[in-house]
């Protein structure tokens, strides 16, 4: 659904809004991080838009600009943050509650963080049962959509912004099957009018963003813009959408290791992944129906990478399980273990163990930043609908219905960089390499 016609992106706006749906650990860490980088208190490690170079032309050309110098992106100094949450307070309080960043750093950022106060959220507790929101919009789904759209317009006006994107960083909603109300825009709008409880709050946020022409990126496993009704709206209004579920810790490792096994034709008998996590996200995921949404995005990757239908002898009997346990003492510092049972020549078994002591929000924050900047870029390049070229950032990348998602992290990176080259009219890099061995060159 990405526009295949090439269009050079228009220049970036000097200032751009990032509206965060949900201002908890991840959202407050990205905002505090951008403020810290602006004040010279830290570096944006983990962010491709800020740190990565891109090779252009042949290896002998020595052209390796920074991505942010190659494609037009709003600089960090020009970013303005806002958003919604179902709890009040300001972002200093959100950071203090999340306990991701040190108090000594937060003190230095206090005035900037105190200025940002979440707007009341659109909330239905049936979708996030463990939370009891107190800072919420009144009325039904149509009222929420009207109010969210007004919030967007007010935020843009107040901050004098032409451009803005929405990133969903809110709690994971319970898993539910899609129904007729999600299939067409007409049915969806009727559902909003009738306050149909099958429309989740995240879908209302996505609808509101798309109606206002704002790109919408979904960092959670919840349904949002990835419903036929809202994809129809995205195409109709010419807006890019992306999702879903930030690819941060264990799944990032999985999408590096699994392609390695397949590349070397090593079999996998079992892959057991377990996590302990003590933040609010972990608490929400204790609800089996919220976990079900997460499990779906986490389990999907191996089948697509390993292709058991093509390699039944290697991957046909793979036992794959994913567990997450809420364990408060760890807070945001998650520990993820993987036990992988593999087999090689003549079926001899081997094992690999991974113990990743990671920090959830530290891994997710640069992804939020990159996604906001790249979705804005995509819109300025005339792209609309699903942005498959940004699969790199997602556990469960949205794609056109005709194709399966690409999960291999390095194929995703090649795809991302080639899309940037393509947008800017540079030659794509195929890694063929024969040009270095032409007659006369050897």
Ligand X SMILES: NC(=O)c1ccc[n+]([C@@H]2O[C@H](COP(=O)([O-])OP(=O)(O)OC[C@H]3O[C@@H](n4cnc5c(N)ncnc54)[C@H](O)[C@@H]3O)[C@@H](O)[C@H]2O)c1
Contacts of residue 102, defined as CB under 8 A and 6 or more positions apart, other chains included, come to none
Question: Per rule CB under 6 A, is residue 30 in the interface with ligand X?
Answer: no
Distance CA 58, CA 426 (A): 11
CB 286 within 8 A of CB 326: yes
Q: Which of 47, 49, 50, 172 binds ligand X (CB under 6 A)?
A: 172
Question: Per rule CB under 6 A, is residue 170 in the interface with ligand X?
Answer: yes
Question: Per rule CB under 6 A, is residue 333 in the interface with ligand X?
Answer: no
CB 369 within 8 A of CB 292: no
Binding mask 6-25 for ligand X (x = CB under 6 A): ---------------xxxxx
Q: What is the CA radius of gyration of the chain?
A: 22
Residue with smaller CB distance to ligand X, 208 or 220: 220
Q: How far is the CB of 53 from ligand X (least distance, A)?
A: 25
- The three-class DSSP label of residue 334 is coil
Q: Which of 216, 246, 261, 315 binds ligand X (CB under 6 A)?
A: 246
- Judged by CB under 6 A, the stretch of 3-11, 154-162, 167-175, 385-393 that binds ligand X is 167-175
Q: Which of 50, 74, 171, 412 binds ligand X (CB under 6 A)?
A: 171
- Judged by CB under 6 A, the stretch of 4-12, 180-188, 242-250, 422-430 that binds ligand X is 242-250
DSSP 175: P
Question: Per rule CB under 6 A, is residue 122 in the interface with ligand X?
Answer: yes
Question: Per rule CB under 6 A, is residue 82 in the interface with ligand X?
Answer: no
Q: Which of 16, 67, 71, 86 binds ligand X (CB under 6 A)?
A: 86
Residue-wise burial string across 337-352, b where 16 or more C-beta atoms lie within 10 A, e elsewhere: ebebbbeeeeeeeeee
Q: Which residues pair with 85 in a beta bridge?
A: 120
Q: Which of 281, 370, 376, 388 binds ligand X (CB under 6 A)?
A: 281
Residue with smaller CB distance to ligand X, 1 or 151: 151
Residue with smaller CB distance to ligand X, 219 or 397: 219
Q: How far is the CB of 305 from ligand X (least distance, A)?
A: 19
Question: Per rule CB under 6 A, is residue 26 in the interface with ligand X?
Answer: yes
Question: Per rule CB under 6 A, is residue 2 in the interface with ligand X?
Answer: no
Residue with smaller CB distance to ligand X, 35 or 342: 35
Q: Which residues pair with 271 in a beta bridge?
A: 320, 340
Q: How far is the CB of 160 from ligand X (least distance, A)?
A: 25
Residue with smaller CB distance to ligand X, 73 or 98: 98
Strand order across the 16-21 sheet? 119-120, 79-85, 16-21, 163-168, 216-218, 240-243, 385-386
Q: Which of 84, 144, 223, 315 binds ligand X (CB under 6 A)?
A: 84
CB 360 within 8 A of CB 249: yes
- The three-class DSSP label of residue 83 is strand
Strand order across the 335-343 sheet? 319-326, 267-277, 335-343, 349-357
Q: Which of 245, 338, 406, 408 binds ligand X (CB under 6 A)?
A: 245
Question: Per rule CB under 6 A, is residue 287 in the interface with ligand X?
Answer: no
Residues 339-368 that bind ligand X (CB under 6 A): 360-361, 363-364
Contacts of residue 321, defined as CB under 8 A and 6 or more positions apart, other chains included, come to 271, 272, 273
- Judged by CB under 6 A, the stretch of 7-15, 55-63, 85-93, 303-311 that binds ligand X is 85-93
| Structure token digits, residue 427 | 């030659």
Beta strands in 228-381 (DSSP E): 240-243, 267-277, 319-326, 335-343, 349-357
Q: How many residues bind ligand X (CB under 6 A)?
A: 35
Task: Scan for tokens 């759209």, then name that residue.
Answer: 149
Contacts of residue 8, defined as CB under 8 A and 6 or more positions apart, other chains included, come to 381, 423, 424, 425
| Structure token digits, residue 135 | 């800072």
Residue with smaller CB distance to ligand X, 2 or 222: 222
Q: How far is the CB of 89 from ligand X (least distance, A)?
A: 10
Question: Per rule CB under 6 A, is residue 87 in the interface with ligand X?
Answer: yes
Asked if omega into 244 is within 30° of 0 (cis), the reply is yes
Q: Which of 279, 333, 379, 412 binds ligand X (CB under 6 A)?
A: 279
Q: How far is the CB of 310 from ligand X (least distance, A)?
A: 29
For the chain, first and last CA: distance in Å?
43
Write out the residues near ligand X by the rule CB under 6 A: 21-27, 84-87, 98, 121-123, 128, 131, 169-172, 201, 219-220, 245-246, 248-249, 279-281, 360-361, 363-364
């Amino acid at each position: 659904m990405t526009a295949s016609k090439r269009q050079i992106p228009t220049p970036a706006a000097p200032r751009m809004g990032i509206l965060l749906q949900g201002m908890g650990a991840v959202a407050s860490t990205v905002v505090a991080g951008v403020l810290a980088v602006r004040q010279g208190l830290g570096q944006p490690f983990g962010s491709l838009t800020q740190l990565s170079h891109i090779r252009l032309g042949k290896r002998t050309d020595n052209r390796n600009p920074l991505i942010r110098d190659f494609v037009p992106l709003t600089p960090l100094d020009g970013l303005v943050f806002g958003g919604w949450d179902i709890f009040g307070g300001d972002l200093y309080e959100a950071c203090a509650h999340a306990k991701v960043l040190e108090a000594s750093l937060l003190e230095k950022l206090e005035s900037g963080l105190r200025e940002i106060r979440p707007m009341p959220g659109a909330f239905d507790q049936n979708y996030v049962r463990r939370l009891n929101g107190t800072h919420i919009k009144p009325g039904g789904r149509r009222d929420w959509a009207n109010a969210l759209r007004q919030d967007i317009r007010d935020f843009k006006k107040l901050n004098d912004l032409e451009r803005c994107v929405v990133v969903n960083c809110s709690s994971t909603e319970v898993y539910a099957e899609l129904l007729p109300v999600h299939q067409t825009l007409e049915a969806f709008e009727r559902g909003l009018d009738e306050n149909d409880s099958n429309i989740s709050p995240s879908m209302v946020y996505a609808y509101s963003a798309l109606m206002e022409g704002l790109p919408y990126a979904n960092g959670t496993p919840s349904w949002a813009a990835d419903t036929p009704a809202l994809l129809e709206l995205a195409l109709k209004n010419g807006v890019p959408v992306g999702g879903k579920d930030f690819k941060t810790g264990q799944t990032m490792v999985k999408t590096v290791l699994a392609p390695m096994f397949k590349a070397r034709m090593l079999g996998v008998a079992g892959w057991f992944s377990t996590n302990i996590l003590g933040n609010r996200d972990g608490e929400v995921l204790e609800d089996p129906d919220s976990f079900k949404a997460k499990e779906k995005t986490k389990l999907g990757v191996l089948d697509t990478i390993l292709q058991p239908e093509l390699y039944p002898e290697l991957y046909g009997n793979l036992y794959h399980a994913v567990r997450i346990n809420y364990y408060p003492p760890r807070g945001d510092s998650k520990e993820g273990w993987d036990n992988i049972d593999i087999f090689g020549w003549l079926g001899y078994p081997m094992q690999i163990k991974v113990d990743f002591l990671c920090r959830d929000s530290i891994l997710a924050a640069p992804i939020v930043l990159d996604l906001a900047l790249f979705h804005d870029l995509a819109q300025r390049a005339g792209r609309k609908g699903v942005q498959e070229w940004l699969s790199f950032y997602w556990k469960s990348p949205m794609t056109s219905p005709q194709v399966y998602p690409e999960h291999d992290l390095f194929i995703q990176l090649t795809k991302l960089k080639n899309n940037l080259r393509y947008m800017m009219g540079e030659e794509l890099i195929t890694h063929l390499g024969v040009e270095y061995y032409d007659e006369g060159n050897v």
